[in-house]
Each structure stands twice: as C-alpha cells, then as structure tokens.
Amino acid sequence: MKSPQRIAILGGGPAGATLAAFLAKEGRDVVLFNQGKRPPVIVGESLVPAVVPYLRRLGIEQEVADFSIWKGGATFVFGTEGRLNLRFNEVRKAKTTYSYNVPRDLFDATCLDAARRAGVRVVDHSARIERDGDGERVRLSEDSLAAARGALAGAPDFIVDAGGRRRMLVQLLGIPTVDGERRDTALHAHFEGIEVEIPGNVHTDRLEHGWLWRIPLPGRVSMGVVIDSTFIRKFGDNPNDQFDTFLKHDAVIRDYARTARRITPVVKYSNYQSHALRGVGPNWALAGDAFGFADPVFSSGMLIAMQSAEWLSGALLKGTPAALASYEKRVLHNLACWKRVIGWYYDGRLLTLFRVGQYVKDTPIGKLLDFHFRKHMPRIFTGENATHPYSLGLVQFMMKYGLARNDPDALRIH
C-alpha cells in the first residue's frame, strides 16, 4: 500500500476537521463531507487542557478563546461530602495550565474553517458508503460522488469515517464493538440562573442517583445529568419533563436548581459507552467517536477525537499497513486507559481517594505525598498523562493501600 493521495472524510466534527486539516497541510487531496444538521445543543463543551495544543496547531486558539469561557480547573463535588478543586496551574510539570469551555456550534465551525484554510474542500452533503466487492473494501455511493463532483477528481483512494456515533462503517461491515458496563442516559440542556462555585471550572456533582455536569458557557450554563436509564423514566414521558422534574427532586441539586431557567430543549444520549474492536481496513479507517467513546465524566471525548485525527494523519502519510495497525492499537490503548480511570470514578474509589487526600494534605506525610502526587495524578485528568503507566499505577496503588479503611461504596455512583 502507498500513502493515499485522495482521501474522503465523512463527518465534519472535531475529528474529521482536524484530520482533514493535517492531511491537506501535507499536500493530500482531501474532501470532507459534512452533514450540517445537528441537535439544538451539542455535548462536548468542556475541553481538557491537552486539547489546547491542537487548537494552536490548527491556528484557532485565539478565535476559540474569543467565543468561549476560559477554564482554570475542575471541581468534583461529592454530594454533601465535600469537594475537590483541581487547579490546572497547580499541576506540577503541566505543559498546559488552562483550557476552554466551548459552545460546540461555534467550535465546530471554527475547526471546519481551519480545514478549509488548509485547502480541504468541504461538501455539504450526508455521504453514504457501500461495500466494494466481497471483501472489506468500501466506496462512496453514486450520489455522494455526484455531490462531490468538482471537489473530488475521481473515486478516493481512502475513506475515513469520522461521522461520530452513527458508526456508518462499523454498521456496514459488521465490525465487532464492545460496550461499557454502564447503562446510563445523559440529558443535556442549557440554563440561565445556575451558579457555579468556581467561575470557569467544569463542575462534576455526585448526586443521590447518577451525577451532573455544570459547564459555564458565555451567558449560560450547560447542565447534563447522567443517570441510570431505567431510573430516569420515573420522571416523565419525554426528556424535557424528565430533566425538569429530576432537578426538583434530587437533594444535592434542588437548592441551586431552584433558580434555574432552561433555555433550550433537552437532548438525550444513551448507550454511548462503546467502541469498535477494529479501526482500520484495506481502504478505510475510523476516527473520533466513530471509532469509540469512553464516557462523559472526565471530558475526554474531544481529546480522544483530536488525538485519533493526529495519529491517523501520521499513519496515512506513511501509508504502510504497519503504520495503520499501530494507529489502531494506539487508539484502543488510549480508550482502555480512560475506561480504567472512568471505572474508578463510578465505583467510588477515586472520590474516596480525593476525600482522604483532603484529610491528610496538611500532615507532614500528606505534604510529602502531595508534591509527588501533584505531578502525576492531575495530569491524568488534564489528558497529558492519561496513558502514562506510572501515573495510572500510582493512583491504583493509592486506591489499594491509601483509602484508610474508608469504604469506597459510600461514594459509588448509583
């Protein structure tokens, strides 16, 4: 296999636009199909600091900063039990000490513009793919080729599915997938009249049932509740009623939700913990959510999507089967590492460790450990060390031996 020259990318979200821009900058002929229709609000508004270098590489950081909220950290509220404030500028050895909360419609449009400036031809069309012969090759449908006429000089050598959770290619070829353990539903909307404790921070509140995010955006706060799919049905027949009623019901949030005014419809997501077991084939690859998504809790999705774009562009520029195989392996490893950390949140061990850390932080042993910890543990959540074996091992070790006989079950997410 030679490095493909003519590449079609399906989907103009952060994964597709980033991949397209990186390939076009290296002289590849790239057409990106983008189906403009999107829900009234789009999840993926809280970015971890490790995303910022991608914004710089795309040349859009200032533009993003102008329409976003500067984010200096993350606040984890353990219900009535307390809270942990992670300040990115206190993380030892951090490469990036801030991030942004972004309105997704503006963010996606900015990424697409960066791709256009790099020479990508964007076709506003919902692309379709079909099998090409009996094997695993795929091709664009006639109508998609027709829609791209003028932008695409003939059939592409390579096709990337970056179309998000629709998973077109996975469905077409019957690629096996693996689902996570949680059967949650996420309900998401924008609100006025909601306070956050630390301006700019993403807030993750453990509730009696499930958890809630609060993401400050310009003039509004994005809130999303993540909750067992069966449980939320008790609160109404449709997502709007379910979210509105639930906010009045849960003891942890009903006080600050009293002044909340919902200003958008509620958008519902379910069965999102899922990834494909393969990400490359003879003339195709998967990127971003089309490959896999772990869970919303640590805002890792946009980073994983942009990393997959960067790694896939490198593999396609080399063009060897080995490079593509190593891309697949790297994304699967990335997802596996995040899934591990996410599991620690849901089973209560991570929040218990945070709580124990607060008790001991002013003791001599606490001060000593804190110096070491501040280099390793927070950098998992900023995304810089999410796959670092020592950082992950240290947290696992502390959860095994450092919970001081606290039962993690008390902080499990129900």
Ligand X SMILES: Cc1cc2nc3c(=O)[nH]c(=O)nc-3n(C[C@H](O)[C@H](O)[C@H](O)COP(=O)(O)OP(=O)(O)OC[C@H]3O[C@@H](n4cnc5c(N)ncnc54)[C@H](O)[C@@H]3O)c2cc1C
Binding site for ligand X (CB under 6 A): 10-16, 33-35, 38, 43-47, 126-127, 162-164, 166, 168, 186, 224, 269, 272, 288-289, 293, 296, 299, 301-302, 305
Of the CA atoms within 13 Å of residue 177, those in its CB half-sphere come to 24
Shortest distance, position 368 Cβ to ligand X, whole Å: 34
What is the amino acid identity at position 281? Answer: G
Structure tokens, 374:
């501040």
Shortest distance, CB of residue 103 to ligand X, whole angstroms? 12
Distance CA 284, CA 7 (A): 10
The sign of the torsion formed by the CA atoms of 195, 198, 201, 204 equals negative
User: SS3 of 10, please?
Assistant: strand
Is 82 within 8 Å of 355 (Cβ atoms)? yes
Q: Which is nearer to ligand X, 306 or 398 (CB)?
A: 306
Helix %, strand %, coil % of the chain (to 5): 45, 20, 35
**SS3 of residue 390 by DSSP:** helix
CB of 163 to ligand X, least distance (A): 3
362 and 370 Cβ atoms separated by less than 8 Å: no
* CB 279 to ligand X: min, Å: 12
Look at the alpha carbons of 53, 204, 112, 148 in this order and tell me if their dihedral is positive or negative.
positive
Q: What value, to the nearest 5°, has the Cα angle with vertex 7 and ends 6 and 10?
A: 150
Chain centre distance of CA 309: 13
Q: Which is nearer to ligand X, 14 or 72 (CB)?
A: 14
Q: Taking the CB of residue 171, how many other CB atoms lie within 10 A of it?
A: 12
At its nearest, how many Å lie between ligand X and the CB of residue 308? 8
CA–CA–CA angle 8, 338, 331 (5° rounding) = 30
Q: Which is nearer to ligand X, 107 or 373 (CB)?
A: 107
**Selection from 3, 47, 6 nearest residue 306 by Cα:** 47
Cβ nearer to ligand X, comparing 54 with 78: 54
Helix, strand or coil, per DSSP, at residue 54: helix
What's the min distance (Å) between Cβ of 264 and ligand X? 15
DSSP single-letter state for residue 48: P
**Cβ proximity to ligand X, 73 vs 398, nearer residue:** 73
β 184-192/220-228 pair status: antiparallel
Nearer to ligand X, 34 or 242 (CB): 34
Closer CB to ligand X, 288 or 348, in the complex: 288
How far apart are CB 364 and ligand X at their closest, in Å?
Answer: 38
Q: How far is the CB of 301 from ligand X (least distance, A)?
A: 2
Q: Name beta bridge partners: 178.
A: 275
User: In the complex, what is the shortest distance from the CB of residue 318 to ligand X, in angstroms, rounded to a whole number?
Assistant: 22
The rounded Cα 216 to chain-centroid distance in angstroms is 17
Residue with smaller CB distance to ligand X, 168 or 276: 168
Q: Which residue has the tokens 């003039």?
A: 219
| Closer residue to ligand X in complex, CB, 188/349 | 188
Q: Specify the residue, 180 or 356, whose C-beta has the smaller distance to ligand X.
A: 180
Give me the least distance between CB of 104 and ligand X, in Å please: 7
Least Å from the CB of residue 157 to ligand X: 19
For the stretch 145-159, what's the b/e string if a residue is b when 16 or more beta carbons lie within 10 angstroms of its beta carbon? bebbeebbeeebbbb
Of residues 288 and 378, the one with the C-beta less far from ligand X: 288
Gap between the Cα atoms of 48 and 74, Å rounded: 9
